[in-house]
Chains A and B, each alone.
Chain A
Amino acid sequence: GEDVEQSLFLSVREGDSSVINCTYTDSSSTYLYWYKQEPGAGLQLLTYIFSNMDMKQDQRLTVLLNKKDKHLSLRIADTQTGDSAIYFCAEKAANAGNMLTFGGGTRLMVKP
């Protein structure tokens, strides 16, 4: 079945850039998403990219998609302590309706 993989943990200093990586296996993915989860809270959609795009920028967030390598990354510029959270990559396959397959999440810790 489909598989989405992420590294478990990332630590950066405040003001630095953070890059969170994700790989997926389903070549029929239509949309790829980044969700943010703060402690004790639900999932908040940060950004998404359609599979025919290479890059999407949204304020401090840049999403890069390498469809050939099935690699997705989320870059957060000027990382702030409020960015500390778990970040989930998710993909929606072409034949999956609106259902998503999630990665295990990357915990981002931002040190002051």
Chain B
Amino acid sequence: NAGVTQTPKFQVLKTGQSMTLQCAQDMNHEYMSWYRQDPGMGLRLIHYSVGAGITDQGEVPNGYNVSRSTTEDFPLRLLSAAPSQTSVYFCASSGSMTYEQYFGPGTRLTVT
């Protein structure tokens, strides 16, 4: 199993550009989520999904869209990047009967 994979590892965007951060898992997990990590603030939940076709907002959803057309994939879209979205983004997945969340390696995004 590859676990949770994320691409790209690094990305630099100009203000106003759009892009999609990819996340995939091969563990057949129902739950998937996106977090952003900023210094001294831990991880904050952006969006999450409890299964294919179902998504919901987390703590900091503004400026981001998600969709979940398959169990495996959960892309995060930035519609119009802003410098405030400079952060490290982590995708995570977990099964409904497990206590553990599995994290991807992260995407470091810089918006200039």
Interface set of A (CB-CB < 8 Å, partner B): 1, 4, 8, 31, 41-45, 48, 88, 90, 92, 97-105
Is B75 an interface residue, CB under 8 A from the partner? no
Given A8-B40, A102-B44, A105-B42, A43-B90 contact (CB < 8 Å): yes
Stretch in B12-20, B65-73, B103-111 with 4+ CB within 8 Å of A: B103-111
Given A8-B40, A41-B105, A42-B90, A99-B45 contact (CB < 8 Å): yes
Given contacts A102-B43, A103-B42, list 4 more A-B pairs with CB under 8 A. A42-B90, A98-B101, A99-B31, A99-B58
B40 to chain A: closest residue by CB: A104
B105 to chain A: closest residue by CB: A42
Interface set of B (CB-CB < 8 Å, partner A): 31, 33, 35, 40-45, 48, 50, 58-59, 90, 94, 96, 99-101, 103-106
